[in-house]
Amino acid sequence: MVQQAAKPQPISPLAGKPAPRSMLVDLARLEREYHERKPDLSDPTQLVSFGTSGHRGSSLRGSFTDAHIAAITQAICDYRRAHGIDGPLHMGKDTHALSEPAQRTALEVLAANDVVTFVERNSGVTPTPVISWAILAYNRGGRAHPADGIVITPSHSASAPTKASTSKPWPRSCKTKAPGRSWRPGAS
Q: Each residue of 80-129: pLDDT tens digit?
A: 999 989 999 999 998 888 999 999 999 999 999 999 999 999 988 998 89
Per-residue CA distances from 154 to 47, 151, 178 (Å) = 18, 10, 22
Q: What angle do CA 166, 154, 7 make, to 5 degrees?
A: 115
Residue 179 exposure: Cα atoms within 13 Å on the Cβ side: 14
Q: Would you kindly state where each structural domain of the chain is located, as residue ranges? A: 49-167
Neighbours of 188 (CB within 10 A): 7
Annotated catalytic sites, by residue? 155
Higher pLDDT, 107 or 6: 107
Q: Which amino acid makes up residue 186?
A: G
Distance CA 95, CA 57 (A): 17
DSSP three-state, residue 114: coil
DSSP three-state, residue 1: coil
- The residues that bridge with 112 in the sheet, in sequence order, are none
CATH of 49-167, one of 3.40.50.2030, 3.40.120.10, 3.40.228.10, 2.20.25.90: 3.40.120.10
Average per-residue pLDDT for the chain: 80
pLDDT for the residue 160: 43
Distance CA 118, CA 82 (A): 21
